[in-house]
Amino acid sequence: MSPVIVLIPTLLRPLVEDRSTVEVELESAVAVSDVLDTLSDGRPVFARRIRDETGALRRYVNIYVDGEDVRRADGLATAVTPGSEVMIIQSVAGG
């Protein structure tokens, strides 16, 4: 097994024990949605901040797999392979 490194943005770190990175162990390729499910297990607030009620990414959340925006690939079905880096970016807006 080889870990996927998930980079957590500052605003979400309190929801993952204040960690800037989380390792998710994979035996084979899985979808981004599977990685998010693993991260969300036992963290319902984290899950709600990333995805809406339908399971889609919230519009202000961007996810990159090895530098590629998943919205320009296969969305939440984008493959994540062992050793990949997944970066979550949460946009912040104000007025």
62-66, 68-72, 89-93: range with lowest mean pLDDT: 89-93
In the chain, % of residues over pLDDT 70: 97
Helix (H) or strand (E) holding 39: helix 32-40
Tell me if 51 sits within 8 A of 36, measured CB to CB: yes
Q: Residues 43-57: what's their mean pLDDT?
A: 96
The residue extents of the domains of the chain are: 2-90
In the chain, % of residues over pLDDT 90: 91
What is the structure's pLDDT at 17? 96
Helix (H) or strand (E) holding 2: strand 2-7
Q: Residues 52-64: what's their mean pLDDT?
A: 96
pTM of the entire predicted model: 0.92
Domain 2-90 grouped into CATH 1.25.40.10: no
Mean pLDDT (the chain) is 95
Cα 81 from Cα 67, distance rounded (Å) = 13
